[in-house]
Structure formats: C-alpha cells, structure tokens
Structure 1
Amino acid sequence: MAGMQGVNWNERRQYARSLFASQQYRAASRVLADLVAATPRNLDLRVLLARSYYYTAQLAPAEAELRAVLRAEPDHPSAHLTLARVLERQHRCSEAAPHMRFADRMNARDLLALRHPDGSYPRVAA
C-alpha cells in the first residue's frame, strides 16, 4: 500500500496486521507507528507495534510502548509477556521476572490472542 492517501484507518490496520502476519516486521512497525500516533489509546495496536519492534531488535522503542500500555492498563497480559521477553533479551532478567510471573497467570484466551492478534482464533470455552 505505497502512498497511503485515500486509505481509511481500518484498511491501514488490516494492512499492518497482514504485514505482521507475513513476518514483515519492519514494514509493519512503520505502518503501526502511524496508526498508534493517530490513536494512542488503542492498546492492542501498541502491543502489536512493540512486538514488531521486538522482532526487529528495536528493544528500546518496544520497551517504551509496552510501558505505556501497562501505565494505561496494568493488567494487560500480553504486554507483560512481551515486556518480559524484551527485558530478557537485554539480559535484564531480574526486571523481567515480575512480568513473567504475571504472564504465567494468563489464561488460554490470552495466549490465543497472542498467537492470533487479528482475533481470528478458535473459540475457547469460558
């Protein structure tokens, strides 16, 4: 989607998710950064942006996005897990430990949401 003029927000979001799903993380992060700038309260997009940063070894911006998510929603399970991984990758394991403990308490629905960020995961009984 070169030149995103005339493309609505939902189409850009879908495009970013498809880039992420096809493991084009750097391209996804560029599109997601614009979407997050336009809608900073969309925490799921911020986590997806952080994951894109993580996969491209942009650990400082990933950490910043995840900390912003956790300030807004302290119990956001995927933000805790992703932040733990970011910190571990930086060899900051003592800082990662409480986030990993929180992530260990995630339920099956939370874990499926991580694997299928577009919401297309199979139904799980409550």
Structure 2
Amino acid sequence: MSKIYTRSGDQGTTGLADGSRMAKSSARIEALGTVDELNAHLGLLVTQIKEERLARLITTIQHELFDLGAALAKGIPARHDQALPADAIEVLEEQIDFLEQALPPLTGFILPGGNAASAQAHISRRLR
C-alpha cells in the first residue's frame, strides 16, 4: 500500500483501487466508508467476546466485509462478480438461528448496555 497521505490535496475526491478518483460525496464512497466503519466496530466487539464460536463468527464477518470493501473500491459490477460467497447470507442466518436458541424469547425492545460487549453489539448492528 502507498502512504496514507498524498501532500497534493484531493479536491473533494478520493482514490480507488483501480487508480480512478471519485467524489467523496458519492454513494459508492459512502457505502465503502460504512462497510469500513462496521468492520472497525466489529473489531472492537470481538476483543470483548469470550465465547470462541461467536468470536470466530465475528472475525469471519470481518473478512467478508474486507472482501465487500475491496469490491466497492474496485468497482466490480454486481452482475459480473460477487463480492461475497453466494451462500454468505444463508450461512449467517443459520449462525444467528443457532445463537438465538440460547436466548429467551424477545418480548420487547432491548435497552443497549448491560456490559461493553452488549453496547458495542448494538452500535454495530445499527450501522447502515
């Protein structure tokens, strides 16, 4: 990777993996930033998780977010390539179903907090 600064200013644009430049206000750059922000929040969350299976799941999601970010940075059209494995959503839903088995049924909204990991999970889930 090159240096994180250019000393040339950016005129409101940012460089992409293919060498092109795009407005920082574009939807694609917004999506790329959101994916990166979610990955950072998950990184903080995984440091607070004691259950190995859950920590591995979060780390797997982080790797998939890197792949998604790379696809956004390269500008790969969805019709030509997939940023994530075709079954990524299905696998994630299966993991959620497994983890939910250990929880009591939801009867209302959950107040964020309780402990640092819980609060961090709430921050991570709300990123869009």
Same fold (TM over 0.5): no
The structure with the largest strand share of the pair is: 2
Q: TM-score range by the shorter chain?
A: under 0.3
Bigger RCO of structures 1 and 2 (CA < 8 A, at least 6 apart): 2
The structure carrying a bigger helix percent of its residues is 1
TM-score by length of 1: 0.25
Query: Which structure: larger Rg?
Result: 2
